[in-house]
Amino acid sequence: MSKLQRRIQKLFYREQWSLLIQNKLNNITYRIIPPSSNIIWADPFIVKHENRTYVFIEQQRRNQNGTLGYIEIFEDGSHSGFIEILKAGYHLSYPCVFQPGVNGDTNYFMIPETHENNQITLYRSTGFPDKWSHYKTLIKGISAVDATILKHGDLWWLFTSVNGTDTNFNNSLNIYFSNAFDSEEWTPHPLNPVSRKYSASRMAGSFLRQDDALIRPAQSCRKEYGEHLVFYEVNELTTTTYRETERSRLLPEKHLSAVCTHTFSENTDYIVRDIKTRKFFI
């Protein structure tokens, strides 16, 4: 996209990130959950806890840093307002919430995007879902986005996009591995970056399991950031090899004026993702 096209869009079009949610149990089609006009909601991660459904998201007000929080989805399809759980003196996004389940520990942990702080950090819930505290710094001195954790085999893996000397956030996929999810020593994969494609690199949510297949959701940034979702089957993942093949794509809904979609999350009850709408105004 040229500078002139960007300028025209900024002058004559209003853009906003919102949430889309689908109830898988009754097969209801996606419905949009929009924030207020000067706010974006993006990067959803859905968690079901004690029969209650929470969607952790980034909220960003215009010209401000992003903060993290959640909305609760109720059985009748309605939802709560945004409840803030984490803010900092730098931008926060992509709240990768997970439950490692190690040694019977039922606590939830979160790896938010903190690239402006040049580190990948781990937070621990001290009172789910509202209270979180810094637990450990996993990797220091790194400008990385959308870090996503995976337990595969006997190891823990971090997939992230790193801003390097010859790569940027949108065209690099880097892998790190360790014996523990909360380790402060992560080994970079010898093939890093394992992807240099604008159409395939940047993460778009937690890994999925479909039958016996391990699926990596990615976002295509070939034409613009977060233009659509691409799902890859991980065929081989070891400390020396990595191989994946494309399985499917998910495009934004044009009938909703959506032009981008870049994060996907699901559980047994719901599918939730984000869309960016672009509407003409004068």
Q: What is the pLDDT of residues 163-204, one digit of tens each?
A: 987 889 999 999 999 999 999 999 999 999 999 999 999 999
- The tally of domains found in the chain comes to 1
Residues with Cβ within 8 Å of residue 219, at least 6 apart in sequence: 202, 203, 204, 225, 226, 227, 228, 229, 230, 262, 263
pLDDT at residue 4 above 90? no
pLDDT in tens, 25-74: 887 778 999 999 899 999 999 999 999 999 999 999 989 999 999 999 99
Has residue 2 been placed in a domain? no
Cα–Cα dist 38/61, whole Å: 6
| Residue 151 included in any domain | yes
Question: Please, which residues have CB within 8 angstroms of residue 114's CB and are 6 or more apart in sequence?
Answer: 88, 90, 92, 120, 121
Q: Look at residues 39, 20, 21, 55 and name the one whose alpha carbon lies nearest to residue 129.
A: 55
pLDDT of res. 92: 98
Residue 1 falls within a domain, yes or no? no
Q: Report d(CA 100, CA 105) in Å as an integer.
A: 8
Residue 10, pLDDT > 90, answer no
Mean pLDDT value of segment 84-91 = 98
Residue 255 lies in a domain: yes
Whether residue 232 lies inside any domain: the answer is yes
pLDDT at 102 (0 to 100): 86
- For the segment 101-108, the average pLDDT, to the nearest whole number, is 88
Inside any domain, residue 228:
yes
Nearest alpha-carbon partner for 222 in 202, 245, 192, 193: 202
Collapsing DSSP to helix, strand or coil, 141 comes out as coil
Q: Does 124 fall in a domain?
A: yes
Question: Does residue 3 form part of some domain?
Answer: no
Task: Mark residue 275 as left, alpha or beta (left: phi above 0; alpha: psi -120 to 50; beta: remaining).
Answer: beta
CATH number at residue 128: 2.115.10.20
- Name the residue range of residue 82's domain: 10-280
CA distance 57 to 95: 6
Average pLDDT, the chain: 94
**Average pLDDT for 122-129:** 98
Asked if residues 21 and 275 have their Cβ atoms less than 8 Å apart, the reply is: no
